[in-house]
A and B are shown apart, each in its own frame.
Chain A
Amino acid sequence: MALTTPAAQVGAIVPEQVRRQLTGRRSDTAGRIFQAVLIGAVAASVAVLGVLVYDMVQTGSGTLTGRLGDFLTGSLRSQPGESGLLQGLRGTFYIGVFTVVFAFPIGVGAAIYLEEYASKSRLSRFIDLNIRNLAGVPSVVYGILGLAIFVKALGSFTGPSSQGRSLISAGLTLAILVLPIVIITASEALRAVPGSLREAGYGVGATRWEVTRDHVLPYAAPGILTGTVLALARAMGEAAPLILVGAVTGFLSGGTELDPTTLGDRFTAMPIIITTWAGRPGPEWEQATAAAIVVLLVVVLLANAVAILLRNHYEKKRG
């Protein structure tokens, strides 16, 4: 008993006394400055995000509050005060659809093969390395790939009416672009599944696919979903590959309906509209561009935020 009371005091007072005796009157000036510099670096990085968002909302507020409905449902026009985003929203929506339909199943399938099936052979190590390198290939190079393959070589399939410069070409190009991201994040999610879960499955006689389908995948689902949402956000924000596959940078007739039979026609997308408008002179176009950016940021950052929160939630739950 005698030990417990002083122990409480030891916790509070003694370390402070010891510290004072060891450091004397010297104060750790260098340490404080260093810490201040570090906090400054973090603050600057965060401030950039704040300034950027504030600047866009501020500049675009006129358009956003004045004619939001008209802005979201209108078509591209020659006047900034009349132009709307509908064609871009449709393009970006379908690019998202292509990503989910192609990149998600193929990416998750590849990740399952690499993590659950492949032995650590030379081939699987090569595939792994290859995927990591693909993730680092600049997006504009994927655009060149799309131009060479989907537009030039397969143009009669991807868009007979548009010489291949269609949403199909764009969607497939961006699905390929984000495929490595989906594979890498899905692999990480699969690797985090405890081995005991698999062993339990094998122990009762399940096959590899049964274990994967019924136990590993459900456990890894939140992680895989997070990766997919991040990849989706990335695809919806990309512009460079779309320029290469021939997104319309000027004016576009049609392209306002969601009818999937028009996927072979000419198209545009949100990032392309922003790029085009950013190049036009005058404060009115600047306002319209900022407003379009706010719309894109709402979509992309919301997707990101949801993915990050989802991941943190499950990480915490599983400790």
Chain B
Amino acid sequence: MSDLTTPAAYTLEDFRGSRKRMRTEHLVRAVLFLAALLSIVISVLIVASLVGEAWTFVSQVEAASLWSDGWFPRRGIYDIKTLLTGTLIVTVIAMAVAMPLGLGAAIYLSEYAPAGVRKLLKPVLEILAGIPSVVLGFFALTFLSPVIVQRLSSEATQFNIAAAGIGVGILTIPLVASISEDAMRSVPAALREASYGLGARKITTTIRVVIPAAVSGLVAAFIVAVSRAIGETMVVFIAAGATGGSLFSTDPFKPGQTMTAAIASQAAGTDQVRGAGLTFQSLFFVALLLFAITLVLNVLAGRFVQRVRQAY
């Protein structure tokens, strides 16, 4: 009872708990902070390891060899536009496959599908997202190339950019579907109800109300998918041929090279990156380019996703 009458007997120290608890608390906090900080260290390491060798490449390479007619790093021919064109073609084909299918699936799942169907289909799409890219590479080479691409063009070779592009597209369908669906589901039901209240049909509501309201998210889905397609390596590496080097080509039915596949194919086969002169450094240059492009796209996509979140 006397305790209650003399509250002044307590000091702040009494509420702090034992010193051991405090010590643990500080120690844990420090360790967790280091874990979080590691991500920044990794980013710094990525940039540092890329920039050093890339700079060696840029400062020593002959300017003429950067604009010739192919990518043959072991022979000192580093035509960047060959890789950029190959990457662009693969990305365009991939988006032509992934955007309609992914968006269609997203609209269906978000607006049309009954709850039961949705619950069944979402995991299937997630499993599609889990397929390793080497598997899709082999699928592109042994199925998509003979069954689809070589029927579209009798000129098509076994290894071709088009099959690789379709493979990359299949790989990005789940990504497009999941980001777009998230965006459309975050559109408030009140907007749909208002539209129905005015007598609009479901298709009108979907196309004229839900999609415009979610457009930032759909743009984000597109950008993330493009970034993913640009960064995809193994499908192109396996299905597009052109290991080692590639002539400049804009024909999707012929073998070709992308930035990612160019990096991987220099390292493969020989078990080790080697070659004349600047071969090793050229990989770092291409990787830095790739890193910069995907970084810009990802930051951009982040902005668009943010916009959806702020709007609703």
Give the interface of A toward B (CB within 8 A). 22, 28, 30-31, 34-35, 37-42, 44-46, 48-49, 51-52, 55-56, 59, 105-107, 109-110, 112-114, 117-118, 124, 126-127, 129-134, 136-145, 147-149, 163, 165, 176, 179-180, 183, 205, 207-210, 230, 233-234, 236-240, 243-244, 246, 248-250, 271, 274-275, 278-279, 286, 289-290, 293, 296-297, 300-301, 303-305, 308-309, 312
Shortest C-beta distance, B113 to chain A (Å), equals 8
Give complex CA distance A35, B137 in Å. Answer: 32
**Is there an interface contact between A110 and B35, defined as CB atoms closer than 8 Å?**
yes
Footprint of A on B, CB under 8 Å? 17, 21-22, 24-25, 28-29, 31-33, 35-40, 42-43, 45-46, 49-50, 53, 100-105, 107-109, 112-113, 119, 121, 123-128, 130-139, 141-143, 170, 173-174, 177, 199, 201-203, 206-207, 224, 227-228, 230-234, 237-238, 243, 260, 263-264, 267-269, 271-273, 283-284, 287, 290-291, 294-295, 297-299, 301-302
Closest to A274 in B: B134
Determine the chain A residues whose CB is within 8 A of the CB of B263 once the complex forms. 140, 143-144, 244
Whether the Cβ atoms of A145 and B49 lie closer than 8 Å is yes
B238, A37: Cβ atoms under 8 Å?
no
Q: How far is the CA of A238 from the CA of B243 in the complex (A)?
A: 19
Cβ-defined partner of A244 (8 Å) among B25, B38, B43, B267 = B267
Closest 5 CB pairs of A and B: A41-B104, A138-B231, A237-B132, A109-B35, A148-B49
A300–B297 Cα gap in the complex (Å)? 29
Q: Are A145 and B46 closer than 8 Å at their CB atoms?
A: yes
Closest chain B CB from A287 CB (angstroms) = 11
Q: Which residues does chain B contribute within 8 Å of A249, judged by CB atoms? A: 268-269, 271
Q: Is the CB of B291 within 8 A of A137?
A: yes
Q: Which residue on A lies nearest to B22, using beta carbons?
A: A207
Q: Collect the chain B residues with CB atoms within 8 Å of residue A30's CB.
A: 201, 203
| Neighbour of B42 across the interface among A118, A134, A238, A243, CB < 8 A | A134
CB contacts (< 8 Å) of B105 on chain A: these are: 38, 41-42, 45
> Are B268 and A52 neighbours in the complex by a CB distance under 8 Å?
no
- List chain A residues, Cβ under 8 A from B170: 48
Query: What's the least CB distance linking B121 to chain A, in Å?
Result: 6
Query: In angstroms, how far is the closest chain B Cβ from the Cβ of A104?
Result: 11
**Residues of B contacting A149 with CB < 8 Å?**
45, 49
Residues of A within 8 A of B298 (CB): 132-133, 136
Out of A246, A248, A275, A286, which one reaches B142, CB within 8 Å? A286
Known: A129-B302, A179-B39. A279 touches B142 (CB 8 A): no
- CB proximity of A51 to chain B, nearest CB, Å: 7
Given contact pairs A28-B203, A136-B227, A130 touches B271 in the complex (Cβ within 8 A): no
Q: Is the CB of B37 within 8 A of A127?
A: yes
Known: A133-B43, A279-B238. A239 touches B127 (CB 8 A): no
Q: B-side binding surface: helix, strand, loop or mixed?
A: helix
Given known pairs A110-B36, A133-B295, the reply for A139 and B233 (CB within 8 Å) is yes
CB–CB B173/A275 < 8 A: no
How many Å lie between the Cα of A9 and that of B107 in the bound state? 34
Cα distance A139–B128 when bound, in Å?
19
When distances are taken between beta carbons in the complex, the residues of chain A under 8 Å from B206 are 34
* B107 nearest CB neighbor, chain A only: A38
Report the minimum CB–CB distance from B304 to chain A (whole Å). 13
Q: Which of A59, A243, A296, A297 has the most CB of B within 10 A?
A: A243
Are A38 and B237 touching (Cβ within 8 A)? no
Assuming the A-B contacts A38-B104, A165-B271, are A144 and B284 also in contact, with contact meaning beta carbons closer than 8 angstroms in the complex?
yes
- Since A148-B53, A275-B268, A303-B130 are in contact, a sample of 11 more A-B pairs with Cβ atoms closer than 8 Å, ordered by chain A residue number, is A41-B101, A41-B108, A113-B35, A126-B40, A133-B299, A133-B302, A136-B224, A136-B294, A136-B298, A143-B263, A297-B131
Contacts of B260 in A (CB 8 A): 138, 140, 240
Asked whether A52 lies within 8 Å of B108 as measured between CB atoms, the reply is no
* Candidates B32, B100, B126, B233; contact of A240 at CB < 8 Å: B233
Least distance between A258 CB and chain B CB atoms (Å): 23
Contacts of A134 in B (CB 8 A): 39, 42-43
- Complex partner residue of B32 from A40, A112, A179, A304, CB under 8 angstroms: A112
Q: How far is the CB of A120 from chain B (nearest CB, A)?
A: 14
Q: How far is the CB of B38 from chain A (nearest CB, A)?
A: 6
CA distance A301 to B131 in the complex (A): 7
B132-A165 in contact (CB<8A): no
Do residues A49 and B127 form an inter-chain contact, with CB atoms below 8 A?
Answer: yes
8 Å CB contact of B267 from A41, A176, A243: A243
